[in-house]
């Protein structure tokens, strides 16, 4: 339910936010990372800026190192990670992030899986998409497929990005 308070918060939210995009993949390169490019394009179309973009192997230590760098970047309030959220042996993004989050935004993963279920059915249970707060930054971790990126960005992340940053900085 939308309340006047909710609308007021959104109206006073920042319109342009610095973002860092990280792709976790053992196989993608800057030339083949269509999901990372899509995230950047969708952010820029909404007036947000890309403070940094990285591709990192799906290794917990490398992911944690990039996140530590991202939280030290004064230009970024948001970190969006794509890839490594499934259940295969090489998918370790969730494990790398889970212990780093200071607060969890459980609703993000829950709603993302519901929307995914509506599109692809019960395979949605294999997604470990998550979000939370780390060192004063909002962090999203989403699957690496273009369809999942588009769903997460258009239905959840972009509509609330400014509002999340506003609430975090209060």
Is 15-168 CATH 3.40.980.10?
Answer: yes
Give the pLDDT score at 13.
Answer: 78
Whole-number pLDDT of residue 43: 98
88-119 tens-digit pLDDT: 999 999 999 999 999 999 999 999 999 999 99
pLDDT recorded at residue 6 = 63
* For residue 135, pLDDT beyond 60: yes
Answer yes or no: is pLDDT of 5 > 80: no
DSSP string, the chain: ---HHHHHHHHTS-S--EEEEEEE-SS--TTT-HHHHHHHHHHHHTT-EEEEEEEE-S-HHHHHHHHHHHHH-TT-SEEEEES--SSSTT--HHHHHHTT-SEE-HHHHHHHHHHHHHHH-GGGGG---EEEEETTEEEEEE-SSHHHHHHIIIIIIHHHHHHHHHHHT-
């Amino acid at each position: 339910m939308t309340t006047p308070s909710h609308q007021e918060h959104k109206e006073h939210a920042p319109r342009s936010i610095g973002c860092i995009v990280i792709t976790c993949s053992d196989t993608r390169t800057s030339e083949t990372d269509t999901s990372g490019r899509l995230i950047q394009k969708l952010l820029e179309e909404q007036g947000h800026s890309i403070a940094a973009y990285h591709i990192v192997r799906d290794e917990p230590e490398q992911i944690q190192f990039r996140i530590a760098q991202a939280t030290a970047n004064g230009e970024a309030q948001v970190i969006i990670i794509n890839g490594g959220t499934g259940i295969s042996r090489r998918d370790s993004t969730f494990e790398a992030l889970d212990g780093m989050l200071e607060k969890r935004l459980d609703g993000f993963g829950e709603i993302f899986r519901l929307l995914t279920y509506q599109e692809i059915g019960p395979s949605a249970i294999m997604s470990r998409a998550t979000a939370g707060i780390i060192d004063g930054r909002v962090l999203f971790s989403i699957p690496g497929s273009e369809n999942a990126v588009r769903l997460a960005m258009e239905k959840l992340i972009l509509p609330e990005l400014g509002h999340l940053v506003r609430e975090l900085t209060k």
